Amino acid sequence: MSNLTLVVDEETLRKARIRAMQRGTSVNALVRDYLDRLAGESQSADGIAEFRAAVEGAGASSGPGGRSWTRDELYER
């Protein structure tokens, strides 16, 4: 694990300490969790982009006029 030094104004740090205390954790843990989520967002965004590319390349659609049925019609007995 690496160390990180941040410069934060005192009022922001005071509010962060209060919020951390309310959550039963530390400012360090809050920042670490935030960075974990931030780093993970790019991975999920890459996955979404790959999925969209696969869907667009599949050529599946409802046709040029779109669907011609309603949900109720589909489930009529």
Residues 6+ apart with CB under 8 A from 31: 4, 6
What is the mean pLDDT of the segment spanning 37-51? Answer: 75
Tell me the angle at which helices 27-58 and 10-23 cross, rounded to the nearest 10 degrees: 80
Please give the pLDDT value at position 46.
Answer: 76
- Record the pTM: 0.52
Report the pLDDT value the prediction gives residue 77, as an integer from 0 to 100.
67
Give the residue extent of every domain in the chain: 9-46
| Residue whose structure tokens are 């209060």 | 18
